Structure 1
Amino acid sequence: MRDQIKKHNATQASMTKKIKNWSAYNRALIQRGNIAIWLSDNAIQQWQTAEKHGGRGRSNKYTDFSIETCLTLRSVFNLPLRALEGFVNSLLNLMDAPIHSPGYSCLCKRGKTLDVQY
Structure 2
Amino acid sequence: MPNKHNDARRHHMPKMRFQVTNWAAYGACLRRRGSLTLWVSNKAITAWRAAPRQTLGGQARYSQTPVETALMVRLVFHQPLRQTEGLLGSLLDFVGVALPVPDHTPISRRAAQLTQMMATALPAGLVTLVIDRTV
Structure 1, gaps ≥5 residues long: 1-11
Is the counterpart of residue 47 in structure 1 residue 48 in structure 2?
yes
Structure 2, unpaired ranges of 5+:
1-14, 120-135
2: CA distance, partners of 1:18 / 1:93: 39
4+ residue segments displaced more than 6 Å: none
C-alpha contact (below 8 Å) 1:38/1:91 kept by paired residues: no
Q: How many residues are paired up?
A: 104
If each structure's helix is expressed as a fraction of its own residues, which one has the higher value? 1
Q: Distance in 1 between matches of 2:116 and 2:19?
A: 43
In structure 2, the residue matched to 1:16 is 18
Q: RMSD value over aligned CA atoms?
A: 2.1
Q: Secondary structure at the match of 1:68?
A: helix
User: Of the two structures, which has the highest relative contact order with CA contacts closer than 8 Å and spacing of 6 or more?
Assistant: 2
Q: 1:81 aligned to 2:71?
A: no
Residue aligning to 1:32: 33
Normalised to the residue count of structure 2, the TM-score between the two structures is 0.66
Tell me which structure has the larger Cα radius of gyration.
1
Q: Distance in 1 between matches of 2:57 and 2:73?
A: 29
C-alpha offsets along residues 37-73 of structure 1, whole Å, 9 cap, x if unaligned?
Answer: 2221211111112x32133332111111221122122
State the percentage of identical aligned residues. Answer: 29
1:111 aligned partner: 111
Read off the aligned partner of 2:37 and give its amino acid letter.
Answer: A
User: What TM-score, normalized by structure 1, do the two folds share?
Assistant: 0.74
* Whole-angstrom distance in 1 between the partners of 2:43 and 2:61: 17
Distance 1:16 1:71, change over 3 A: same
